[in-house]
Amino acid sequence: MAYLDPAAESVGTRVRRARKRAGIPLTELARRVGRAQSWVSAIENDSLPLDSIALVNTLARALRVHPNELTAAPTGATTQQRIEDTQRSPRSAVS
């Protein structure tokens, strides 16, 4: 199995991994964040960008992870810097 650098993964891949690790069904995560299941699916499939600090924090709370885990940013980076860095990085082909 090849090593995959978490920083090279897309936000959607990290959201999906955190959700599955927590054992939360897609429908339950959607309920927790007050969004449609299709919205969560679009985030996980990188069809819709996660470009809001508030949404990153909402998803992180619902998944019980630190926002850095979803954005793969160093601890010292601001949330806005993490979002901007994520938007600039290439999307991972791994889903």
Quote the pLDDT of residue 45.
96
SS3 annotation, 21-81? HHCCCHHHHHHHHCCCHHHHHHHHCCCCCCCCHHHHHHHHHHHCCCHHHHHCCCCCCCHHH
Global model pTM greater than 0.75: no
pLDDT in tens, the chain (95 residues): 444 555 578 899 999 999 999 999 999 999 999 999 999 999 999 999 988 999 999 999 999 999 999 987 655 555 555 566 656 655 444 43
Q: Using CA of residue 65, residue 67, residue 72, residue 77, what is the dihedral sign?
A: negative
Classify domain 7-88 at the CATH superfamily level. Answer: lambda repressor-like DNA-binding domains (1.10.260.40)
Quote the pLDDT of residue 71.
86
Quote the pLDDT of residue 1.
45
Quote the pLDDT of residue 17.
95
Quote the pLDDT of residue 6.
53
